[in-house]
Structure 1
Amino acid sequence: MTTLSMTAAPATRVPRGPRGLVWVVLRTHRTALIFWGLALIAATALLIWMYAIGDEARPAYGGCAEPPTDDLPSCSAIEAITADETYANGIALVTTALCYVIFPVAAWAGGALIGRELENGTARLAWTQSVTPVRWLATKLAVPAALLTAGTGTVLLLNIWARGDDNPNLVGDWYGPDQFAGTGPVTIAYALAGLALGALAGLLLRRALPAAGVGLAAALVLYGTLDRYREDLWPTVTRTEKGQFELPRSAWQTHWDAVWGRHPGEDTPLSTSATFHPRSHFWPLQYVETGILLAVAAAATAAAFWVLRRRTP
């Protein structure tokens, strides 16, 4: 008589140590990782192309003369340049994508990163295999935060490099909503804030679809609020002169007031007052908004760990 020995198949275990848990996070979300990598490659290739045609695009907004002179090309030659539109559209596409990255990140973090794993029990299974809930959440946040910072920061630097001399006719004014949010450290801070808000929504709701929606809604509120009150984040400059004057295009005008005389039909004001942010306020505004976003990210992260401790043994 033959005796058959039955050996039970070992249960799938989460590898011990931080590196093993990092690998599990990367493998679990490999679809998002592949999409992120492809997006970075596409943005890099596009910005390198934009830099290559930048010198051809800039003359389209230079001076011209008919007939041409030693200093100015002919106006017909300037009108024939078409690279300017391609360059402007390419730069605008990447800049807009950078400043809106908070929205897909928040939805993904709430839905796929946290909410789905709590909903289907994957997270609780990991907690029974020598992975504490705190370490699970810390790794869940640290891995995408590192990838977001590295990837977004790289594209941000390439975007600044491709913009060249920041000709506003080609790349827009520095104070435009997309231009401001897509050309400074606030770009990275928005991505990290979206990650933290989405994770908090996932822990609160524990269901993928509702958490994705709430994470996205929180990101929309944060983005809209800062966009609305950005001009108030740093003291403005006021300029008052007799008569009428115009601010340079580089000035972000927030308020304009004119005092008119008592005689009807006067077309020139007695004095004019303008409140504005000069170009030099770009960095102070960036730093203040970045600080606010990082504070939001830190508060949402702390709240996420608090919720996790309250709901786990």
Structure 2
Amino acid sequence: MSTLTTPHRPSGAAPHRPYRPSGLTWTVLRLHRTALYVWGAALLAAVAALIWLLAAGPDARAIVGGCDASEPFPIDCGTAHWTTTARIHASGLALVSACVTFQIYAVAVWAGAALTGRELESGTARLAWTQSVTPARWLATRLAVPAVLLTAGTTLAVLLLNWTRRAGRGDLSGGWFTMNVFISSGPVAVGYALAGLALGALAGLVLRRALPAAAAALAAAYVLHEVLDGFRMSLWPAETVTGRAALQLPHGTLVLEHGAVTGAGERLSNNMACVGTDSAAALERCVERTGLTDFWTTYQPESHFWPLQLVESGLLLAVTGLAAAAAFALLRRQHS
């Protein structure tokens, strides 16, 4: 008679199990893996598009189709070449820039609906709190994990965007002061993503339901985005010049206000008389004809790009910190 036996295991030894990731970080990644896949796919698509634009560069016309130089209108042919190249680069850069600029809305909606709102509505969060996970630690992990991923991914996209703009004709996508270019060219892009995350998480904790939290987070992100866009050029002191310098500003300058002074000393705002005169004689003739005595322009030069970026980034980080602090305070009050 034979019997089945099991291998001898030392007393007190734990059974061998294959390694599996565990912990709160892994739980967050597993619960929100769909959002992670979508974010990863979007980032890969943006990186691939920017690398293609960077590599294609001046040869884009050869990719989209050549133009026979023997055609009877070679000048028009060259124009078609340039137009095609410009359109490819402008459209590609504008598309990726817009995705980076407006990602705050997607992040805020997801954070409000799925990251906190749905888990509170379904009871998943309360279940976690009964398994030796404090509410504060639960929230900290849900904010930290996506914050790291958003910071890394957005930074990569911004660096590639700037590289692509410098390698080609960056002005095709707009001046440095246009909303999409400004936000997608510096740390402001990361600030918007983190602000959307914090605002969404706070909305989820306040409303504790997925759909209302998503709507509230979207509204908060919209208000923040529009307010900062409206006051952006007021975040750093502008420069004012008078005389002929007010009529011939450096390339890349954003004119905020331009005016003239009459012979009676009256200041006329938004008066574009004599703008663009190319010589002292032409300016003198224009002054005699219009009866003006002086000109002035208030503007933001391109050199103010980084001061404006840093100030706006600081405001966004302040909003992020306040929203996160409010979320923790609300959670502590609810479970004290």
TM-score by length of 1: 0.85
2:4 is matched with which residue?
A: none
CA distance in 1, matches of 2:137, 2:302: 44
Offset of 1:52 from its aligned partner? 1.6
Q: What does 1:3-152 align with in structure 2 at a 5 Å threshold?
A: 20-56=23-59, 75-76=75-76, 78-81=78-81, 82-152=84-154
In 2 relative to 1, CA 244–131 (structure 1 residues): closer, same or farther, beyond 3 Å?
Answer: closer
Offset of 1:252 from its aligned partner? 1.0
Contact 2:105–2:221, Cα closer than 8 Å, also in 1? yes
CA distance in 2, matches of 1:41, 1:284: 31
Contact 1:56–1:84, Cα closer than 8 Å, also in 2? no
2:311 is matched with which residue?
A: 288
* SS of corresponding position for 2:292: coil
Q: What does 1:138-287 align with in structure 2 at a 5 Å threshold?
A: 138-164=140-166, 167=169, 169-242=171-244, 245-261=247-263, 266-267=289-290, 269-287=292-310
User: Matched residues, percent identical?
Assistant: 54
Q: Does 1:308 align with 2:331?
A: yes
CA distance in 1, matches of 2:246, 2:200: 50
* SS of corresponding position for 1:145: helix
Offset of 1:83 from its aligned partner? 1.6
CA distance in 1, matches of 2:49, 2:262: 51
Offset of 1:247 from its aligned partner? 2.0
Counterpart residue identity of residue 219, structure 1: A
Offset of 1:76 from its aligned partner? 4.0
Offset of 1:165 from its aligned partner? 5.2
Contact 1:156–1:182, Cα closer than 8 Å, also in 2? yes
Offset of 1:53 from its aligned partner? 2.3
CA distance in 1, matches of 2:246, 2:159: 40
Contact 1:53–1:83, Cα closer than 8 Å, also in 2? no
Offset of 1:277 from its aligned partner? 0.8
CA distance in 2, matches of 1:122, 1:289: 36
In 2 relative to 1, CA 33–243 (structure 1 residues): closer, same or farther, beyond 3 Å?
Answer: closer
CA distance in 2, matches of 1:213, 1:120: 18
TM-score by length of 2: 0.79
* SS of corresponding position for 1:287: helix
Offset of 1:56 from its aligned partner? 4.0
Counterpart residue identity of residue 308, structure 2: L
Count of matched residue positions in the alignment of Structure 1 and Structure 2? 281
CA distance in 1, matches of 2:207, 2:296: 51
Counterpart residue identity of residue 248, structure 1: P
In 2 relative to 1, CA 160–169 (structure 1 residues): closer, same or farther, beyond 3 Å?
Answer: closer
1:62 is matched with which residue?
A: none
Offset of 1:54 from its aligned partner? 2.2
CA distance in 1, matches of 2:158, 2:294: 42
Contact 1:57–1:84, Cα closer than 8 Å, also in 2? no
1:220-265: CA deviation from partner (whole Å, max 9, x where unpaired):
1111010000111001110100597132331111111112347x99
Offset of 1:294 from its aligned partner? 0.3
Offset of 1:285 from its aligned partner? 0.2
Counterpart residue identity of residue 27, structure 1: R
Offset of 1:55 from its aligned partner? 2.8
Contact 1:110–1:199, Cα closer than 8 Å, also in 2? yes
CA distance in 1, matches of 2:181, 2:246: 29
| Deviates further, 42-51 or 245-254 | 245-254
CA distance in 2, matches of 1:268, 1:27: 73
Contact 1:185–1:286, Cα closer than 8 Å, also in 2? yes
